[in-house]
Structures are given as C-alpha cells and as structure tokens.
A and B are shown apart, each in its own frame.
Chain A
Amino acid sequence: MPTTQSLVQSPRYRALIVVAAGVVGFGLNLFPVYVYGGVWLFVGQIPALSCALLFGPVYGLIAALGSIAGLLMGALSVSSFVTPTQAMTWTLLLLEVVAVGEYARRRGPITAILLFWGVLGAPVGAWFLYVVRSMPPADVALVVGKNVLSGIFNVGVAAILSGRSPFTGPLGVNRSHRDTIESHLNARVSSVVTLPVLIVLIVVSRWSQRAAEQSAKDRLQLETAREARALGQYLVAQRRVVELLSRVSLMPVGRTAQGRSDLLHEARASNTGFLTLMIADSAGTVRSVASKSNDATVLRATNSRVADRPYFSEPMRTARPFLSAVFRGRGLGADVVAAVSAPIIEADGKPIGVVEGSLDLAKLHEVLSRHVDLDITVVDQEGRVAYSSAPERRPILSDVPNEIPRNVHVFGRLFSRDPKLITSKRETYYAVAPAALGWSVLVETPRWLALKSVEMNSTAVFLACIVLFAGSLWAVRFVNRAVAEPLVELERQAASLQWGAPIVEADTAGSATHAPREIAVVRDALSSASRRISESFLSMQRALSVRDHALQERDLTVRNLDTLVHERTLELENERDRAAEASRAKSAFLANMSHELRTPLNVMLGRAEAFADGVYGPLSPQQGEAFAEIDAQGRHLLALIGDILDLARIESGKLAVDIQQSDALPVLQEVVASFQDIAKARRVTLTLDAPTSRCIVHADLFRLRQVVVNLVSNAVKFTSDGGRVQVSVEVRTDSDAPVAVHVTDTGIGIAVDRIPVIFGPFEQADASTTRVHGGAGLGLTISRALADAMGMRISVTSQIGVGSTFTLHFAATENSAPAHAHSATVAGVAS
C-alpha cells in the first residue's frame, strides 16, 4: 500500500481505495474482535483511518461508514435494537477519524491520536462507562486505557499502510528524512512487518475471544445446572414433607383434632422451610394449623375457608401434589409465599382433604450458591420472579421478559451447542434451567463481567501485539540504518564530486565497520575517485591561479606602462602647450613691440627730416648736420630694431616662409638697382651678372630678397672707394635652375679664423667695424637663418685685404657650387 502514493493522486484510484476501505471495514466490524470491556472495535477502524490520513477527514468519514455499517449489521444479528455502547462506539469512531485525518496533516498521526484521546475520547468513554454502565472505576480505567492503546496502535498501522511515517510531527524523529531512501525503506519494510503482525493479531484475538466466550458459556451452563439441581431437590423435598403429612393424617393419630395439630406442629418445627402447615377437609375448611409463631393476626385461623385457593383446588382435582405459583399471602408470615400441597387420599382413591405448606422463599438463598458475578433468579411456572440474588434488578413477583426463551434458539444457532441452556440478551449472558415442579433457575451475568477473567488473556495478547509492533518498527529502523546510513554517506561523497562543492574526505575509518561490503566497495571507489578528482581539481586550480597571477602581473605591468606613457604624454602635452603658449605670448609681444617701437621712432625721424628740410625755418650748416645725424642714427636704430625682431621671430620658430617656384631674377635686379645710389655715393661699382633671362628657384621671394639685401648691403658697406661689388648668378648648363648666387666684393676681407663666427648674432669680423661701418651685425645671422628656413645654405670665402665672396647655394645644386664660386670669386677679387 505505500507504493500507492502516486496512485492515490488520481481521483479514480482515490474513489476505489475509499470504497475498498469501506468494504474491508465492514467485514472487520461485522465480526468484531472483542477485548476486555465488552463489545468494542479493535482493528475495525484501520481502513477508515488510512483513508483519513491519505485523503483527509471527508474521505475518512466515507470509509468509516463502511465500518459503521458492519458494526450495525453485527449488532442487529444478535439484538433487535442498538445498544448505547454501540452508538457511542460509532460516534467515537467518526470523531477519531475526523480528528486524526485533519490534525495528522499538520502534526503527525501519533500526535493527532494522542491529542484526540487525551481531549475527547478518554474523558467521554470514561464518563459513559461510569455513569451509564455503572462500571467500577478500576474497570473503567482498564477499558479506556485499552481503547487509547488500541487507537494508537490502529493509527500507527494506518499511517504505515497509507505510506506515512507515524513519527512525524513533534514526536517524530525522521521529519527531515522525507523522501530519502531511509523513509522509503521504512515505509515498505514496515508494511511487510506490519501486515503479518496485524493478521496474527486478528487471528489470535478472535481465537482468544472465542475461547473466552466458550469458557464463559461453559461456566454459566455449569453453574446454572448446579443451581437448578439444588433448587429442584429442595422443592421436591418440601413436597415430600407435605405428602408424608397427608398419609399420616389417615392414620388413627390423625383422626383426632389434637393429634393432627400435634402432627403439624412437630413437622413445622422440624422443617424451617415452611412458614405454616395446615390441613383442610374436603369442603375447604381448615381443620388444623401449625405456624411459625402464635401471633393470632399472622396465623391462619381454623375453620377459615380455602376452597378457592389453587393449592386446595388443584390437589383435590388432580389427586396429585401441587406447587403453586408465587403469590402474596396475607397472614402467612411473609409478603410473598408459594404453597406446596398434597391431597389426602382414602383407600378408595378419593381425596378427602389437603395438606398444605407455605414455603419461606427467603430460605432459598441458603439453598442456592452465592456468586459475585452471577445473578441467580428463581422463576415460577407463571414466569414471575420468586427469588433473586439481585432483587434490585429482578424484583420479586416481576415478570421475566418473554424473549429469554426465544433467544435461546438465536443465540444457540450462532454460538452454542446446547440451545436449551444458554441465551443472551444484548450484552448479558443468560442461562435458564428447569428445576422442578414447573419452576426454573435463571442465571445471568453482564457480558463484560462474564468475559472479564477470561478476556484478560485477550488483553495480554493485544498488549503483546503492540509491543511486537513497536519492536518491529524499531527493528526495521535498525536494519534500515545499516543500509541507509552508508547510502547517506555515499550521497554526501557524491555531492562532493560536484564542481565547486567543498571537498569532503571520506570518513573511511569511521563508517567502515558499519557499511555492507557492497556499499563499502562503492564508497571506497567513490572516495578514491573523489580524492583523485579533488587532487586534479586542486592542481588545476593551482595552475589556473599561477596563470591568473602571471596574467595579473602582466596586466599590472601593461597598466603601469600605460600609466607611464599616459603621464609622459600628459607632461609632454603640458610642456608643448606651455611652450606654445609662451611662444604665442612671445609672438604677440614681438608684434606689439614692433609696432610700439617703430611708431615713436617714425615721429622722431619725421620731425628731424622736417627740421632738416627747413620746414621750421632756415637752418645753419651746423644745425643741418645735427639733424642729418639724428636722421641717420634714427634710421640705423630702426633697422636695428627690425633686425632684432626678425631674429627673435626666427629663433622662436615663428618665421613664416612661403616657398613657391618663382623667378628670382627681378628680385636681384631690384636689389641691385636699389643699392646703386649708395654704391655711387661710396664710389663702388655694383653690377649684376646674370647669364640667363630667368632664374627659377624654390624660395620665398620676400625672404630671398631680404637675404640678398643683407649680402649686398654688407658687400657695399665693407668695400672702400674704387672697389667693386658683383652679384653673379651661377646657372646649370642644362636648365634654368640656378646653382647659386655669388656676392663678391673687393673689401677688407675676413680673417680665416673669424669666418666661423661671423654668422653668430652681434658678431662682425672686427669689433671695431661697427663704429666705422655701422650695422647691427645681425644681417648675416638673419640671412643664414632665412636661408636655412628655405632649404638653402650660405657659405663664405675671404682673404684679408683682397675681398670676400658670400655664396647662396640653392638646394638642388649646392654640391658643386662652392668650389666653382670660390675660384671665380678669388679670381675676381685678385683683379
């Protein structure tokens, strides 16, 4: 049944299971197993409880209806109506199913059943037994305790059968093992153990029940027969006394009144069973009386008429002794009496009178036995109670129920081999036996009382079953652990095989002694594999970490390099920016200076010129010279400022050069032309020697002009009277492109050791020349810088006292130029 866990999820199987449980419950309760305390369900509610645990209280109730139907059918087979005990049994069954079904879902079946019996079942059952059934407290405790145990047992079995562990909840120990192999094994093996135990329990209990019932019946039969025999003997003895008196009364001694009276008194005194003895004649008139006392009010009077009494009329009619039914006899010494009478018969056979004795019924308790658990009732021929050992339940003169003789047959068919003797009414065992003269003995006992002594055996069997059941559960658990624990260990190791899980070393030393060999082999293999995997994992981790470390270091280095490069770049950029800024500031400063310096100088020169021109009046020759001096020095200053600014601009790299392919010849012609006046003033011959009509160069013509101006200016400046300055263009033979431009003079010349320095700023070949020749000394410096900027080169050859030749080499042809120019110059100078 535990395997039906998945099946029960479907409604169809659920309905089938509930119906099957109802049928099984019906069968179990139709032939219930009795335990001490009377009729009580024992294992009958297990199917209903199983359904309640599986599906909840509603389905449990449906299954319980089958059990209740079984109980009802069983009860109807032996009784015409339902007893209070059975009604209570059904109520408790329903309540138990509901309580367990609902509460077990949350707290576990065992907890639920304990709660149910603790709160509801045990108090209600105890109240019922004590108040309604008048059961002694000790017996109540026994019955209720049995029911509590029975409930726990049943719900435990039901829990296992329904696939649940009975020990979940607060009492549980394996709540966390739900759906583990241990719980599975527990449920299955428990079922395997539980079902046989249950069957054995039912068989043993039923056998015990039958034995107990049979024993009770046998005892009842025995006792009843004994009592009936005793009563019969007593009654027959009393009748014989009366018969004897009737015969004696025919003898001569009985013929007289005094003789009869003495006879009766003697007989009564010797037999205390008679309250009174009397002799009546054939007419029914009392002739003689002997009574227990002499009290006149009690004594039956002589001559009183008894002709209408059955104890007179019956013997007279039948001529046979007679035992009357019980009746109320006034004046007979007791409330209730019975009469024994015998006819007085003559020799001819005709009754001539009756001897009667009234029986003291109280004397019957001496005749009958005393039993604690048996009630003995003497019933007369009319079915009235003549005597009872329990008059509170069977009052004297009350009618004994008519069904007693009927039920003898029903009961007998079911349970007894002697249908005449034993009967049963509801929960009481009855036995009826005829005693004598139409009277009989009824012996009865409550069933629980009758079975008490014997059913203690059944209770012992039941308790043994519970112990066996619990023991089997623990045994299953014990066996289970032997398999489950190593498997759990295996599971733990297997889980450690997952990547990323912490490595679990197999505890081989600890669990080796418990694990079965098969599991141990698997475990060792798994452990070994786990170890190898963890080792390889660790080594891989180490390798990875080494690699990661190297990568990190490389990244770090790269990052450092990046940072360095970045920082250096930033520094350079900053420096560049600062330099550019400084350069821009310098350029702006230079431009401003240029303008600011020239403007006032212009004004000064203008004023001087105006004076010299006589604008402000005629001047003396001395004044004219002074203004001319102002003018000359001012112009020199202006040129100087211009040179300084140019030089500054060149050194700051701000010199703008606009190189284009163009014809340099007009520039040369213009420069030579512009210096003709100065040259004539110094009586220097200035000529231009250009062999071609064009002079195509790659140059900035403005700057080229500046260079040529400087060279020509210097040449004219350092050439004395009668000297000669020649500007000559050296041309390649195969094209228009010039090789160089030579400026040759016949001036003072430059010492060889001074030649390297004349291109430095503020340098002239002779420091004193400035005073003589003027000039700032910046011309060559600027010229060389400009030539460099245009990709040209300036060289010089000179000889002291002979002259100098400055050569401007153009880029394309500079290689061959110097030697040729040099020789030409030297030749020219030498002339």
Chain B
Amino acid sequence: MTEGTPPSSPVMRRGPVLLVEDHPGNIRTFVDYLTAKGFQVEVARDGHEAIVKCRALAPAAILMDVQMPVLDGLSVTRLLRAEPQFALTPIIGLTALAMPGDRERCLEAGMTDYLAKPARLSDVLAALERCLPSAGIG
C-alpha cells in the first residue's frame, strides 16, 4: 500500500479536496494524512454544508461519507451532479454499509468511486491519485 509510494513532498501542489464527514475522529485522521500527502483539505460536516462549500471552493475532488445527518451522501451527490460545474468533479464515496448493492447505489447516484469502511488510508490515497491524473506526479 504505502510502502511503494514515497510521501509526496510538494505541498499544495493540487487543488483542494473536500472531505464530507461528520465524525470528528475521522475528520482529524483524514485531514492529517491527506495534508501530509500534499493535499489541501476542506471539511464539510453535513450534506448541506457540503453543497455550500462545493459552490464556494470548486474542489478538485470530494470524499463523501454516505451516512450523514440532514442530507445523506447519495442525495448530496445527485444534487451536485445536477449542477454543470460539478458534472466531472470526482466524488469518492466512503460508507460503512458493507452490504450488497451499496456499490451500485453509490455509482448510480453519480459517484466516481466507492470505498467501504474501514478503508485503509493508503486505499483512499490511491483512489484520489486515480481520480486526479491531471494533477499528475510532477
């Protein structure tokens, strides 16, 4: 996982990544890890805030927790996909629902990729790397 991938040295070399997550522990873990890997991470704590921040920041990619209060990740994804500027924005779903059909539901809602919790941080990073080829490894 990480052993073959050296820590990315250049900081802020990519666009901001929006982390939509409601659990404080997870937020801190992801923020620390992804920041250390050179990502600018913005956090939205519920679906409503996610939409607001998306419009304000135009993130390069979105890590979307599916189970959230107020507005779940699937609904947020559908709403974002309805707006033209987010038609191509990578959205990676993170869900604890390791049930059959979860993956299909996520992709159907418009997500680019899907990871089941507990996901290794390196898997998340790999997914991000796959989504952002243009950001490339300089």
Contact = CB atoms under 8 A, between A and B. Distances in A.
Contacts of B96: 594-595, 598-599, 602
A610 B118 contact: no
A605 interface: yes
A603 B33 contact: no
A97 B33 CA distance: 140
For the complex, would chain B's binding face be called helix, strand, loop or mixed by DSSP majority? loop
A604 to B, nearest CB: 8
Interface string B19-49: 0000101100110110011000000000000
A701 B101 CA distance: 11
Given A598-B117, A600-B25, A603-B23, A609 B122 contact: yes
Contact of B30 (A606, A614, A700): A606
Interface string B74-85: 000000000000
Q: How large is the interface on B (under 10, 10 to 19, 20 to 34, 35 or more residues)?
A: 20 to 34
A602 B24 CA distance: 12
A628 B67 CA distance: 29
B100 A610 contact: no
Contact of A613 (B2, B23, B26, B98): B2
A610 B121 contact: yes
Contacts of A606: 26, 29-30, 33, 118, 121
B133 interface: no
Contacts of A499: none
Nearest to B37: A615
B130 interface: no
A573 interface: no
Contacts of B33: 606, 609-610, 613, 615
A615 B32 contact: yes
A700 B25 CA distance: 35
Interface in B64-122: 67, 96, 98-100, 117-118, 120-122
Contacts of B67: 595
Chain A contact residues, majority secondary structure: helix
Chain A interface bracket (under 10, 10 to 19, 20 to 34, 35 or more): 20 to 34
Contact of B122 (A595, A613, A616, A638): A613
B7 interface: yes
Given A603-B29, A605-B118, A606-B29, A614 B7 contact: yes
Interface string A480-500: 000000000000000000000
Contact of B29 (A610, A642, A658): A610
Contacts of A594: 96
Nearest to B35: A615
A477 B26 CA distance: 126
A790 to B, nearest CB: 13
A599 B32 contact: no
Interface in A604-648: 605-607, 609-610, 612-616, 635, 638, 642
A638 B116 CA distance: 13
A601 interface: yes
Nearest to B121: A609
A603 B25 contact: yes
Interface in A643-699: 658
Nearest to B117: A602
A702 interface: yes
B118 A613 contact: no
Nearest to B118: A602
Give me the 8 closest cross-chain CB pairs, A-B, nearest first.
Answer: A603-B25, A702-B100, A606-B29, A615-B36, A602-B118, A610-B33, A609-B121, A613-B2
